[in-house]
Amino acid sequence: MAVLDYYGFWKETMIQLRNDLGEEEFSGWFSDMKYLRAWFDEQTGKDSIAVGVPTAFHRDKVKSRYQNAINKKINSLAGKEIALEFEITGITEKKETEQAPPAPENNSPAVVSAVESQKQKKKREKHSELRDDYIFDRYVIGENNNFAANAAIAISRNPGKVYNPFLIFGGVGLGKTHLMQAIGNYVHDNSDKKVIYTTSENFLNEYVQAVQVGKMNLFKNKFRYTDVLLIDDIQFFQDKKGCQEELFHTFNALLDAKKHLVFTCDRPVTELQKFDERLKSRFELCLKVDLMPPRYEERCAILKATAESRNALIPNEVIDLIGKQISSNVRDLISALNTLIAYQELMGQPITMEVAQQRLKNIFYAPKQANLSTDIIIRAVSEYFGLTPNDLKGRKKSANIVFARHLAMYIVREMTEYSTTEIGQDFGGKDHTTVMYSIEKVKGRLLTDPTLESTIDVLKQNIKEASAKH
């Protein structure tokens, strides 16, 4: 049976969708989609068309959000019901609306060889600064991160054009770095654009070195002549005046050139202390998205997806156990799962409920559990240093009390989701600037005192054991 060439209908459908959705939303989902072919499906008795999309994630999102609208428009244009199928094609060179209908297939060895050779040329080497497993297909999306993930995907499709600049904030282990690097990986793999990823600490170190050796021009050129700049943990720039000044000018240069900026932070911009007001005002320009701890269903989905990617056989009842016991963040979930996978690989034994409960008995009381209160931490720290909880909550300024107080505030910030304001209230009504100062003092000391980290580890273990009794 002869099949119409539906490319013209498909092109008109895309034009109508662009008008309905607007340029930003349309570009985020349809610029990488392409018409492939049409045929008659004898099983359904319908004409069918295949459309190419770059990833399985992209396919699933388009099907759930837009397939009804696409079907309605193309059926109306064709005057009959058309079946729509999606195929994962990977990289696309042109926007769909600019593509000509596909040429007839040619499977001769010469053509196949040429195509394969071209694919090899197009394939870019792995980005040296990005983790290759931090991609959208491995990022489990739920209610806690849906808005952030969709914005990140739209940015990766059209860097410099939509949601620029972009700031992801939230507590430790919630997937900020994964989402940021997924943007970088997609842009790097699907375009010729230059992507730079750096932590704020590395940015600072490069800045200091450039100042010391008199090579600021090289530093400026590196960060101001890129297409996408990803900077992790901007809270580290607090009280770094020279570095903040350079970041301010880099921010302006890239924004003026319509290059994309993406940042992560462990707190809202309003909680950043000792920040240049001009720089804070730039961060206020960002589309700001907040990552929250995943819900139970999302935690189980993350565990299952991770186990499948590792080819590990983890029973559903064990997934359920971990999902219920660990509600803090993604990092703690994966840590627990990795413990079981390592046991399975090394011991060659299956994972049962009994094995899981035995191997994870300490991890179940890991950081950021719901039953972990500030008082538990204060009591554990005060007992360790031979003090009382009132010493830590009070105003005494003796060196041993001040150090223990700083350490307790630091551990509360590390092990809970409490804001600096809430922490200050639990320490006798101190304001959040005092808390921030205490946390930064401990961070600074960790850089010079190799014994402090082991002390903190002992304290955290004591806190976990105390938490388990409540």
Query: What does the pLDDT read at residue 368?
Result: 47
User: 239-272 pLDDT, tens per residue?
Assistant: 889 999 999 999 999 999 999 999 999 878 887 8
Residue 123's closest CA among 90, 95, 153, 96?
A: 90
Percent of the chain topping pLDDT 90: 34
61, containing H or E segment: helix 56-78
Quick: pLDDT tens for 396-445. Answer: 889 899 999 999 999 998 888 788 888 988 898 888 888 989 999 998 88
pLDDT band at 187 (very low <50, low <70, confident <90, very high): very high
Helix %, strand %, coil % for the chain, to 5? 60, 10, 30
If you average pLDDT over residues 88-113, what whole number do you get? 45
Question: Span 111-118, mean pLDDT?
Answer: 42
On the 0-12 / 13-18 / 19+ scale of CB atoms within 10 A, 64 is exposed
Residue 342 scores a pLDDT above 70? yes
189-207 pLDDT, tens digit per residue, is 999 999 999 999 999 999 9
Domain range 296-365, its CATH number among 3.30.70.260, 3.30.70.580, 3.10.250.10, 1.10.8.60: 1.10.8.60
Q: Which of 54, 126, 151 is nearest to 94 (CA)?
A: 54
Contact 374, 418 (CB under 8 A): yes
pLDDT of residue 123: 57
DSSP, collapsed to helix, strand or coil, labels residue 276 as coil
pLDDT higher than 60, residue 43: yes
In sign, the C-alpha dihedral spanning 243, 245, 249, 252 is positive
Decide: helix, strand or coil at residue 55: coil
- The yes-or-no verdict on residue 113 having pLDDT over 60 is no
The pTM score is 0.55
Instruction: Find out whether 2 and 129 touch, Cβ atoms under 8 Å.
Output: no
Low-confidence winner among 14-18, 50-54, 366-370, 414-418 (lowest mean pLDDT): 366-370
Which of 54-58, 64-68, 392-396, 418-422 comes out lowest in average pLDDT?
54-58
Instruction: Round to whole Å and give the CA distance between 282 and 265.
Output: 14
pLDDT at 59: 81
pLDDT at residue 91, as a whole number: 46
Q: Which residues pair with 199 in a beta bridge?
A: 232
Predicted pLDDT at 38: 83
Q: What confidence tier does 177 reach under pLDDT thresholds 50, 70, 90?
A: very high
pLDDT band at 4 (very low <50, low <70, confident <90, very high): low
Q: Strands 166-170 and 287-291, how do they pair?
A: parallel
Output the average pLDDT for the chain. Answer: 83
Can you give the pLDDT at residue 229?
A: 97
Sequence spans of domains, the chain: 7-90, 136-291, 296-365, 374-468
Tokens of 380: 């554990």
Domain 136-291 sits in CATH at 3.40.50.300
What residue type is assigned to position 318 of the chain?
V
Q: At 330, is the pLDDT very low, low, confident or very high (cuts 50, 70, 90)?
A: confident
Q: Is 324 helix (H, G, I), strand (E, B) or coil?
A: helix
Q: Which residue has the higher pLDDT, 1 or 274?
A: 274
Q: Does the pLDDT value for residue 12 go beyond 60?
A: yes
Smallest Cα–Cα separation from 231: which of 201, 258, 200, 208?
200
Q: What is the DSSP letter of 123?
A: P
Fold of 374-468: Chromosomal Replication Initiator Protein Dnaa; Chain: A; (1.10.1750)
CATH 3.30.420.10 is held by the domain 7-90: no
Q: Is 438 helix (H, G, I), strand (E, B) or coil?
A: helix
Is residue 445 a contact partner of residue 452, using CB atoms and an 8 Å limit?
A: yes
Between 89 and 223, whose confidence is greater?
A: 223
Q: Which of 33-37, 76-80, 324-328 has the highest mean pLDDT?
A: 33-37
CA 93 to each of CA 89, 209, 338: distance values in angstroms, whole numbers, following the listed order: 11, 40, 39
